[in-house]
């Protein structure tokens, strides 16, 4: 039986992303990374030319296009195949219609909009007319201000919710309804609770714990916890360290959060470390039942 989840490999073509900023600014390096991600099991490549880390400054559309278009064209020319022979999907991580339009022309089939179609009034019409998939994400505020000092559990001056899960669910339901009323086919919409986007550590954990409540919206859930600061904060607290642990030490926490999200109904996992998270999800899926098929095995161990 085929796995009921997909891995979305992160490909940041930016100088300032929190985890890998600057590593893939060169188009050839980014295309080589795309090959690597697909070889590791990524079925979707999420290409972004503007950082959305907390405090990030906006990037003009012209600069964003300059960064991503050579990469998108190179990926299309590479015709990257998955194990089963299908082609990897390309997602464009942007909130600008001009960038999304060019990316679709270059082969992208998913628009991953962290503003949930609020950032550019032309985006919803473009998505509807193009017939591509779109991912709608919850974010409180915008990247420059979304955390506002929210470093720890209930950080002073940080994001506030009466019930984070209820409010995120209501937001996603409203944005889904908005998209459908504007002509986007409901079956093409993915939803993302926006882990780390305007949330404290406590909010992120509550969302992960109650993720099943968001699956009731009836659309596939995308989860992006990969290497995020809240994982570093949790690990630092456990080790008695004052500052969040470095990005390089966050893989075990990334794996743990993705396994928990799978158990609670998420089906798309946006990650940097595709091979490691993919291995963990394969074992978790087999444990949860019915998703592992033995090939050529005569005995189990």
Give me the pLDDT at residue 124, please.
98
Q: Which residues are catalytic?
A: 228, 270
Percent of the chain exceeding pLDDT 90 equals 75
Q: Which two tokens stand for residue 261?
A: 């999200």
Q: Which CATH number is 6-288 given?
A: 3.20.20.20
Domain positions in the chain: 6-288
- In the predicted structure, residue 153 carries a pLDDT above the cut 50: no
Give me the pLDDT at residue 298, please.
37
Q: Who wins on pLDDT, 26 or 265?
A: 265
Q: What are phi and psi of 174, to 5 degrees?
A: -65, -40
Give me the pLDDT at residue 145, please.
58
- In the predicted structure, residue 296 carries a pLDDT above the cut 50: no
**How many CB atoms are closer than 10 A to CB 234?**
21
pLDDT per residue as tens digits for the range 225-237: 999 999 999 999 9
């Amino acid at each position: 039986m085929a796995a009921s989840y997909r891995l979305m490999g992160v490909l940041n073509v930016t100088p300032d992303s929190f985890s890998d900023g600057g590593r893939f600014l060169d188009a050839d390096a980014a295309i080589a990374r795309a090959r690597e991600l697909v070889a590791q099991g990524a079925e979707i490549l999420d290409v972004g030319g503007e950082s959305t880390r907390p405090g990030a400054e906006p990037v003009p559309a012209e600069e964003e296009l300059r960064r991503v278009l050579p990469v998108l064209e190179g990926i299309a020319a590479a015709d990257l195949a998955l194990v089963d022979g299908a082609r990897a999907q390309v997602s464009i991580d942007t909130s600008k219609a001009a960038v999304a339009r060019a990316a679709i022309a270059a082969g992208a089939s998913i628009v991953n909009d962290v503003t949930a179609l609020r950032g550019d009034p032309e985006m919803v019409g473009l998505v509807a007319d193009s017939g591509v998939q779109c991912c709608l994400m919850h974010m409180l505020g915008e990247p420059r201000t979304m955390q506002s000092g929210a470093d720890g559990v209930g950080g002073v001056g940080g994001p506030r919710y009466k019930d984070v899960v209820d409010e995120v669910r209501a937001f996603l339901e409203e944005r889904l309804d908005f998209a459908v009323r504007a002509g986007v086919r409901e079956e093409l919409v993915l939803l993302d609770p926006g882990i780390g986007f305007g949330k404290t550590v406590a909010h992120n954990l509550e969302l992960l714990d109650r993720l099943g409540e968001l699956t009731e919206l009836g659309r596939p859930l995308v989860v992006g916890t990969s290497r995020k600061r809240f994982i570093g904060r949790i690990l630092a607290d456990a080790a008695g360290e004052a500052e969040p642990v470095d990005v390089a030490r966050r893989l075990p926490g990334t794996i743990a959060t993705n396994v928990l999200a799978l158990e609670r109904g998420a089906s798309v996992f946006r990650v940097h470390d595709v091979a490691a998270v993919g291995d963990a999800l394969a074992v978790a899926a087999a444990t949860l039942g019915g998703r592992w098929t033995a090939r050529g095995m005569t005995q189990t161990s």
